[in-house]
């Protein structure tokens, strides 16, 4: 049976139950990355990403043709948009490397 930990009492309790028996707090749930930015990765983004991959079925950096993702050239936080001219196709490993470089201040 999976368990969750009460952040206040640091005790385990069964996941999906009523929460912590001592304080009644609800168990924590993992939030995906996209739920923190509501409305940004919506149906429009899915359509633009799929169209970009259809037009260019290979990675812009390494040329791989499997595990492709859409990547914003100008991130949404920096004022970019979910448009086809702001999306490039990257494989998952190149996208991860690019995201890590972006967070460290090296932008390309």
Interval 34-89: pLDDT, tens: 544 555 677 888 899 999 999 999 999 999 999 999 998 888 888 888 899 999 99
pLDDT tens digits for range 3-48: 666 767 677 766 666 667 677 666 555 555 554 455 567 788 889 9
What's domain 40-103's architecture? Orthogonal Bundle (1.10)
Closest to 9 in 3D by CA, of 1, 17, 19: 19
Q: What's this model's pTM, rounded to 2 decimal places?
A: 0.58
Among 45, 57, 38, residue whose Cα is nearest residue 86: 45
Provide the 3-class DSSP secondary structure of residue 33.
helix
**Top-confidence residue, 90 or 15:** 90
91: phi then psi, degrees, rounded to nearest 5: -75, 165
Question: Which 3 state secondary structure label does DSSP give 84?
Answer: helix
Binning pLDDT at 50, 70 and 90, where does residue 90 land? Answer: very high
CB atoms under 10 Å from CB of 91, counted, come to 21
pLDDT at 49: 92
């Amino acid at each position: 049976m999976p368990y969750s930990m009460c952040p206040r009492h640091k005790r385990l309790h069964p996941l999906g139950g009523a929460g912590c028996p001592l304080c009644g707090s609800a168990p924590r749930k993992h939030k995906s990355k996209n739920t923190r930015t509501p409305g940004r990765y919506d149906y429009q983004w899915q359509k633009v990403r799929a169209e970009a991959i259809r037009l260019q079925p290979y990675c812009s950096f390494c040329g791989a043709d499997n595990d492709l993702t859409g990547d914003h050239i100008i991130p949404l936080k920096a004022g970019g948009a979910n448009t086809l001219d702001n999306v490039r196709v990257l494989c998952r490993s190149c996208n991860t490397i690019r995201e890590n470089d972006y967070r460290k201040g090296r932008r390309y």
